[in-house]
Chains A and B, each alone.
Chain A
């Protein structure tokens, strides 16, 4: 099970919307059941990212990220998401 930390500014709004989109995109790629998404705040990344396989963020991070990071704003705009899904899949399959 790969663990994804999905963050936005407050950990409530944008990350919730992106969570739904990322979950669907990854399931469409046949990864259902192989990943777990936890939502959080951008300010928690420096402290928590060590416990995750990757971070997806819709905002700027305040501190350092200790695992691979992908910016997920494209999921809100609904365009240019395929290269980002590729990137996420590649990280998860490492």
Chain B
């Protein structure tokens, strides 16, 4: 079975539900700190990903839901992974490429990418998955990190 995920780690321990944040910077900090506690990223990742979001915003307004994909340089990464943060109330991010356009984001997909050249399949596939009708809504409706991680991970298999 082909799996576009490659060695990118998705697991219940990297899913954070019910994040309470007022701003994009707060939301990013909560999830980035959590990734650091799990050993996925170096401590420097936390500030780096926050700073990068200010310059290169990562909100994406999909038809179904606004999401954000905060990420930063690979030097801050220990292990390739993607963390999911579900926001209790939507948080305003700026749109990627169009920072003047606000996006009400309901979920964050925080990427820790170490070897981008090997991730072409993964990143392209993830965008296809996000575009699939019902996917983002279904993911957000998951009640446990286990359920969410399984649903997300399985979506990369074809």
Contacts and interface: CB of A to CB of B under 8 A. Distances in A.
Contacts, number: 77
Interface residues of B, dominant DSSP: mixed
Interface of B: 52, 55-58, 60-63, 69, 71-74, 95-99, 111, 113, 116-117, 119-121, 123-124, 126-128, 131
Interface of A: 8-14, 16-17, 19-21, 42, 57-60, 71-73, 75-79
A11 B113 CA distance: 12
Contact of B95 (A16, A73, A78): A73
A57 B123 contact: no
Contacts of A58: 96-97
A77 B97 contact: no
A73 B61 CA distance: 10
A10 B124 contact: no
Contact of B96 (A12, A20, A21, A73): A73
